[in-house]
Structure 1
Amino acid sequence: MIFLAVLLFSVSAASNTNMWDSQTVSLSDLLKRLNDLEERLQVQERINREQEAVIKRLIIENINLKNIVMPKTDISVDIKKLNESEGFTHSPGNSNTTGEKINTVHKMHLSNSKSHLNISDEHSSVGNCCQKLLLDFKNNGPKRRSVTGGAAFYSYLSDSESNPNRLQIIIFDHVITNVGGNYNHHTGFFYCPMDGVYTFSWTLYCSSNGYIYSEIVVNSDAVGAMICNAEGASSIRHSTGVVVVEINQGDAVYIRTHPSANLVGRLHSYSAYRSSFSGWKLF
């Protein structure tokens, strides 16, 4: 009986320990997610403030444009001023003179309207001239030359990645530039098209209190390394590595996490900041 009681107590203690460990893991994951949401919220708030500033500037420009419009003129006031300037006083017997005065005021308004129309015509003429110059420059200006025999690429991560592992190849899947088509966005590899000297650059963002070790590899040899360190920081941090290497045709160049160093936190890439990989042939 004593042996059975001890066995039941041991099983109960082991069950409680496993439950506590699972709760601890869940709380740790929840805290990481909360930190990530706070960082995204800070970025979005900054974007919102910038957009509000743009909207305010557009409103002020719209008000200024409205003030340019010619204000309406009261004809009766103009007739009164014209009469006073000529010493004219209205009476029943001089209706013809009144008609002449009204005609004169109408002519004044027509003249003012024509002057504004001329100004508008001048602005329209200037606008047409500018459009013509832009069209001529587009048709006859310097042409974008076709690149032959060169190699250049730029690509970035389309989304963040949670808790990358050691020796993990980072695949920068969204290609912006790929002259020569030598970068493969499915594998993350750049294949050297010809012997020469090349420059490569990579930028990584890591979450607050995290750090990510990375290296650039030619075939299987690391030729450069970098750490993105956000320990003790309240927001994300980033680092950029640059190497200049002489490589041969067919060599594969890529970015991977360090094979032995610890990795903590998320690898970030967002619309306001991008983890990226780029390279180009020098000569």
Structure 2
Amino acid sequence: MHSVVFAVGLGAIFGTISTEKISPGPSLKSFRDDYDNVAKTCEAVGYVKNYCKYNQFKRNIVIAFYAQAKGSTQTLRERQTVMFQDVNLNIGGGYNATKGFFNAPKSGVYVFEWTILTPQNKYAYTSLVLNGKRKAYSYCHNNNHSLRSSCSKMTVVKMVVGDKAWIDNNSRSLTSVSAEYSSFSGFML
């Protein structure tokens, strides 16, 4: 009889232990369920739109590019685009090396910089063009005809999605650009 009572007593003890939670803390599943509920609630009430849907990187997209001209000298007629085909950086995918322009993937304020090196005895009149309108100018020429001349220009413009920016020749005569040291870059603030 003692063995029956002992067995019933052990069964009661082990039965009680197996039905109770071993850890007083929440499980990983309950944590995930709670997080999903908070995210859904956040989204439903419109609190910080898209904050719960998308992570920080997707919301604050980095947009930047840097491209260099390649080959030898480019001789450009009026309004012809300076081509910067050697792309070293294109975060956000806005720069099109085939056409030589930057297409804004996001609305905002952008900083552009370009450097032009002229061949000996040549000059370069260049501009930053935004949607067909010139916004900034650079004149690169030196009086010592045996030297090359390097000129840089930086400008800041406001763009909306789909706006295009590029560098062109703003002279009515031919402009020459030495490819190996000429570059175009930009980024969104």
- In the other structure, the counterpart of 2:187 is 280
Q: Distance in 2 between matches of 1:188 and 1:162?
A: 13
Q: Is the counterpart of residue 263 in structure 1 residue 174 in structure 2?
A: yes
CA RMSD, 1 decimal? 1.7
Contact 2:67–2:86, Cα closer than 8 Å, also in 1: yes
- In the other structure, the counterpart of 1:248 is 160
Q: Distance in 2 between matches of 1:183 and 1:230?
A: 31
Matches within 5 A, 1:107-256: 148=58, 149-256=61-168
List 4+ stretches of structure 1 deviating above 3 A: none
Q: Distance in 1 between matches of 2:75 and 2:184?
A: 19
Q: Which structure has the larger Rg? A: 1
Cα deviations across residues 73-108 of structure 1 (Å, max 9, x unaligned)?
xxxxxxxxxxxxxxxxxxxxxxxxxxxxxxxxxxxx
Structure 1 residue ranges without an equivalent (≥5): 1-145
Higher relative contact order (CA 8 A, sep 6+): 2
Question: Residue 167 of structure 1 aligns to which amino acid in structure 2?
Answer: R
Q: Distance in 2 between matches of 1:160 and 1:278?
A: 20
Higher fraction of helix: 1
Question: Residue 68 of structure 2 aligns to which amino acid in structure 1?
Answer: Y
Question: Residue 275 of structure 1 aligns to which amino acid in structure 2?
Answer: S
Tell me how far 1:231 sits from its aligned partner.
3.3
Tell me how far 1:160 sits from its aligned partner.
2.2
Q: How many residue pairs end up in the alignment?
A: 132
Question: Residue 173 of structure 1 aligns to which amino acid in structure 2?
Answer: Q
Matches within 5 A, 1:6-17: none
Contact 2:73–2:119, Cα closer than 8 Å, also in 1: no
SS at match of 2:153: strand
Higher fraction of strand: 2
Give the TM-score normalised by the residue count of structure 2.
0.65
Structure 2 residue ranges without an equivalent (≥5): 1-55
Cα deviations across residues 262-283 of structure 1 (Å, max 9, x unaligned)?
335x31122xxx200000000x
Cα deviations across residues 45-76 of structure 1 (Å, max 9, x unaligned)?
xxxxxxxxxxxxxxxxxxxxxxxxxxxxxxxx
Question: Residue 75 of structure 2 aligns to which amino acid in structure 1?
Answer: N
* Cα gap change, 1:147 to 1:179, in 2 (>3 Å): farther
